[in-house]
A and B are shown apart, each in its own frame.
Chain A
Amino acid sequence: MKVQLHKAVGGVLAACAALAAFPVGVTAQSAVDEIAKYRQQLQDGNPAELWEARGEDLWKQKRGPKSVSLERCDLGKGAGVVKGAYAELPKYFSDADRVMDLETRLVHCMVTQQGFTTADATKRTFGAGSNRSDIEALTAWITSESKGVRMNVALNHAKEKEAYRLGEKIFYFRGGSHDFACATCHSETGKRIRLQDLPNLTEKAGAQLAYTTWPAYRVSQGELRTFQWRLNDCFRQQRFPELQFGSEASVALTSFLAFNANGAPFNAPAIKR
């Protein structure tokens, strides 16, 4: 293509359906309408299903040095319970004595049950073309099993409460060469970057809309992306160093955003620009 088509133009958190009024007249409004139409047309066939199918196989396959499946992995609702599990994550797990999101928990199960080393389990957290990520596929399937389930993240344990409060602080943390925080783009309603609507993650409606539509198949990349990826790539564009997969900051921020989305039916894997 004349311009590089597969350029991984990173994105913004979620494409939102509620559109605000824009400063200029007809042209901008019709642009907004046409983009809504474009998004609508994408809904008809979501390649995320290809990841979901592979993820389900991976969950059930005997893998790793111990040659066991993940079917005894406890995602928070008891060993092997997948249905609705994602809608209650992140949560505190006493066996690991920390708050974990889905991806972190998967790594934990791959290590403790299947016998993978942490290095092997996290070797490819984000896929690129034929170098595919098992974690993305597993996440696609597991999250699809929460479709329609209302977000219900609890802050009961002290560490869950602490994660939420740390996540909130991290959300407002300004740094890097450009002084960006998550809040720079995500704390006002009705704003957009280029033509992408920016959810206001400090309000219930915005947090719900954004959080319940990840993971998502990103058409700009041709990849299924998880929430860990979403945070990782937001920080890249914030000009921060690289967010470590499953790090305390990543889980704390996820706790903050997931809790703010409580009450909304989970609706992913989605498809987005």
Chain B
Amino acid sequence: MKNPYRFACVLALIAAGCTTMSDQDVSDKAVAVMKTSFNERGQAKLDRLDQDEAQKLCSIPPSAVLPKEVAARIEEINLATVKYPADGKLLGNWRDGERVAQSGIGMQYSDDPKVPAGANCYACHQLTQEEISFGTIGPSLYNFGKIRGNSEAIQRYAYGKIYNPQAYTACSNMPRFGHKQILTEQQIKDVTALLMDPNSPVNK
């Protein structure tokens, strides 16, 4: 709706009962409609509907192929957001990580903002053999560390991936847990430990 000429054109087309609104016109109108169709509630304010660049570019069917340079740009701006711990330690406690992986609360208007959010890893990933209730939107992470080895490079990758998955895969379905401040640094360390620690059930 930044372009007043285009907006007027859209109105004219609707008035004429015409169906030739361009795809961009429909996208713009959909964004406008979204903003008038929600009420802020609890911690979920209306700014949740303000899309950042990656969200805008990724509002497409997953089957649509992103131009290479667009994907590269999304990955570049997201990689720039990844902050590694100042103390240099990437692994926390895998037991705490398991609790974070199990919990699906956080950031919903129905959630108490004082209660730490979970990562809900199991909603989308298999992680251990014990937990049979796991989703399949993401790949199985069972034996993640065992397969890849517990090197610092892999630890950094795992930490970075949890922090901001779009640094590695543009338009990934996975939330950007660090970048969007869903998880704390300690929680990301704990989940990294769940994936990497040889004693974690993930690697048994």
Contact = CB atoms under 8 A, between A and B. Distances in A.
A71 interface: no
Interface string B17-49: 111010000110111011011111100111011
A267 B140 CA distance: 34
Given A28-B132, A31-B132, A244-B39, A170 B34 contact: yes
Contact of B46 (A157, A169, A235, A241): A241
B122 A191 contact: no
Interface stretch (A61-69, A79-87, A103-111, A179-187): A179-187
Contact of B41 (A159, A242, A248): A242
Contacts of B19: 158, 161-162
Interface stretch (A133-141, A192-200, A213-221): A192-200
A179 B49 contact: no
B152 to A, nearest CB: 28
Give the secondary structure class of B's interface: loop
A38 interface: no
Given A236-B109, A242-B38, A242-B39, A166 B29 contact: yes
Contact of A250 (B37, B107, B135): B37
A215 to B, nearest CB: 21
A118 interface: no
Given A240-B38, A242-B38, A247-B38, A184 B173 contact: yes
Nearest to B138: A191
A187 B61 contact: yes
B124 interface: yes
Given A24-B140, A170-B30, A177-B107, A241 B60 contact: no
Please indicate which of the listed interface residues A27, A178, A240 has the most CB atoms of chain B within 10 Å of its own CB: A178
Contacts of B110: 236
B40 A241 contact: yes
Interface in B166-187: 173, 175-176, 180-182
A187 B132 CA distance: 24
Given A178-B107, A184-B173, A242-B109, A198 B137 contact: yes
B135 A172 contact: no
B8 interface: no
Contacts of A193: 123-124, 135, 137
A230 interface: no
B106 to A, nearest CB: 8
Contacts of B129: 27
A177 B182 contact: yes
A222 interface: no
Contacts of A157: 17
Nearest to B26: A165
Nearest to B172: A179
Contacts of A159: 14
Nearest to A193: B135
Given A178-B182, A187-B62, 5 more contacts: A191-B137, A194-B123, A198-B137, A235-B38, A247-B36
26 contacts: A158-B14, A159-B14, A172-B60, A172-B61, A173-B31, A174-B55, A174-B56, A174-B59, A177-B48, A177-B182, A178-B175, A181-B59, A183-B61, A191-B135, A192-B136, A193-B124, A193-B135, A194-B122, A240-B44, A240-B48, A241-B44, A241-B45, A244-B38, A247-B37, A248-B37, A249-B36
Top 10 A-B pairs ranked by shortest CB distance? A249-B37, A169-B30, A247-B37, A178-B175, A242-B41, A241-B38, A158-B17, A193-B135, A177-B107, A174-B55
